């Protein structure tokens, strides 16, 4: 095997692959990583769910019969946004103690760190616990890649634990909220804008529904770690031109759920609240994930990460969703931690960056988790 790559250099290499989603086109980046891992002795399987949309499953070929610890990350990124970048978003430019670029925090630094840790693990840890890497496409738009893998027979198997390398500044988070994104459409009857009495205004209908959405009651108690569910009206649009009565309107709604409150229950309540004036279409539906902080493996991860943090870890979660929504139940609901070097506040931002030191620290943390096995 060639020299193990430096994790910062590997992150820069991954940033150089343009994988903005849509359209994603993660294939080239995924195959590059497949080559690196295969050369080191990993068994590689590639799965495509659409043209250029490739998932990678890499397994360390150990001789024992133990179930693996799984590490997962995604290769797609969000668009650059409308604001001008002060750096080239695909150059992986280093300025001071920061590495800049789209995906530097969310989450190519996490993928690079787990790959480098895996390369070190398979070289140094003969006979140690098994590991599996699941590197996905399409996470940013509803975990299409993970959803595809879960739908295939005899691909993932089971795992004893799951590490999701999403941006947490290397803080071990024990769960995340679920996401239910819906489009609420209203219909009307078009007419000339000077004769509104001849039409039915779909925007007026939408405004009335927005008022109901603002007062939506989840009828739920707060989760001890993840808190309360939330609802946000993120977009509203409608009409074809200013001097016509609009015959359509659309409302985009972002709902975040917590364990104990299923997305389907929320959708049913929403449908009942909005009534017959609303045509509701589900856009994204991913469940929440939470592991009991007292779980022995979570406690072990806390012990491993404590020296890298300013204070001892405590039970916290994140508001964004991850591929764990699908992978955790598919693996048999093992303890799951969200833990990665990226800065959570930099995800999706213009001039996104990650601290160089966090990438190096993540490699050490992941390697310790790999070597520690399962209690």
> CA-CA distance, 334 to 109, in Å (whole number)?
24
CA angle 80, 32, 12 (to 5 degrees): 45
Q: 213 with 232: CB under 8 angstroms? A: no
* Residue 61 confidence (pLDDT) above 90: no
CATH 3.30.70.360 maps onto the chain at 178-286
pLDDT at residue 66, as a whole number:
84
In this structure, the number of other CB atoms found within 10 A of the CB of residue 72 comes to: 29
pLDDT in tens, 63-102: 667 899 999 999 999 999 999 999 999 999 999 999 999 9
Q: pLDDT tens for residues 326-374? A: 999 999 999 999 999 999 999 999 999 999 999 999 999 999 999 988 8
pLDDT number for residue 70: 97
Mean pLDDT of the chain: 96
**One-character DSSP codes across 1-25:** --PPPPHHHHHHHHHHS--BTTT--
pLDDT surpasses 80 at 292: yes
In the beta sheet, which residues pair with residue 200? 189
Residue 203 pLDDT > 70: yes
Cis peptide before 121 (omega within 30 of 0): no
Superfamily of structural domain 7-176+288-372: Zn peptidases (3.40.630.10)
Residue with tokens 């800065």: 343
Pinpoint the residues of the chain covered by CATH 3.40.630.10.
7-176+288-372
Q: Does domain 178-286 have CATH number 3.30.70.360?
A: yes
Query: Does residue 126 surpass a pLDDT of 70?
Result: no
Cis bond upstream, residue 23 (ω within 30):
yes
Tell me the average pLDDT across 106-124. 96
Query: How confident is the model over 226-264, as pLDDT tens digits?
Result: 999 999 999 999 999 999 999 999 999 999 999 999 999
pLDDT of residue 375: 78
pLDDT tops 90 at residue 37: yes
- Mean pLDDT (whole number) for 268-286: 96
Q: C-alpha 268: how far from its chain's center?
A: 25
- The whole-number average pLDDT for the span 33-44 is 96
Could you tell me the pLDDT band of residue 127, with boundaries at 50, 70 and 90?
Answer: low
What stretches of 230-332 adopt beta strand conformation (E)? 230-238, 248-257, 279-286, 289-290
Give tens-digit pLDDT for 221-231. Answer: 999 999 999 99
């Amino acid at each position: 095997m060639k020299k193990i790559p430096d994790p910062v250099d590997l992150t820069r290499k991954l940033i150089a692959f343009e994988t903005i989603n849509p359209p994603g086109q993660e294939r080239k980046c995924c195959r590059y990583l497949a080559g690196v891992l295969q050369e080191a002795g990993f068994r590689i399987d590639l799965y495509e769910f659409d043209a250029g949309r490739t998932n990678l499953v890499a397994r360390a070929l150990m001789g024992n019969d133990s179930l693996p610890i799984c590490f997962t990350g995604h290769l797609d990124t969000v668009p650059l946004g409308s604001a001008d970048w002060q750096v080239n978003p695909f150059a992986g430019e280093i300025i001071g103690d920061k590495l800049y670029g789209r995906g530097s925090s969310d989450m190519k630094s996490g993928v690079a760190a787990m790959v480098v840790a895996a390369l070190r693990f398979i070289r140094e840890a003969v006979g140690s616990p098994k590991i599996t890497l699941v590197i996905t496409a399409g996470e940013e738009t509803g975990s299409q890649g993970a959803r595809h893998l879960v739908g295939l027979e005899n691909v993932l198997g089971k795992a004893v634990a799951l590490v999701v390398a999403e941006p947490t500044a290397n803080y071990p988070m024990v769960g995340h909220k679920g996401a239910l994104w819906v489009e609420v459409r209203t219909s009307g009857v078009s007419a000339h804008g000077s004769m509104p009495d001849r039409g039915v205004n779909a925007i007026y209908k939408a405004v009335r529904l927005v008022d109901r959405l603002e007062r939506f009651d989840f009828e739920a108690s707060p989760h001890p770690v993840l808190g309360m569910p939330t609802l946000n009206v993120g977009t509203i649009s409608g009409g074809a031109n200013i001097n016509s009565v609009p015959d359509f309107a659309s409302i985009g709604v972002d709902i975040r759920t917590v364990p104990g409150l299923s997305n389907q229950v929320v959708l049913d309540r929403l449908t009942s609240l909005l009534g017959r004036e609303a045509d509701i279409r589900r856009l994204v539906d991913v469940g929440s994930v939470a592991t009991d902080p007292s779980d022995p493996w979570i406690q072990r991860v806390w012990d491993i990460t404590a020296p890298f943090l300013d204070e001892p870890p405590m039970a916290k979660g994140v508001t964004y969703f991850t591929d764990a929504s699908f992978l955790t139940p598919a693996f048999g609901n093992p303890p799951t931690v969200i833990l990665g070097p990226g800065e959570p506040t930099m995800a999706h931002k213009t001039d996104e960056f990650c601290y160089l030191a966090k990438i190096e620290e993540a490699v050490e943390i992941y390697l310790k988790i790999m070597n520690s096995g399962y209690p």
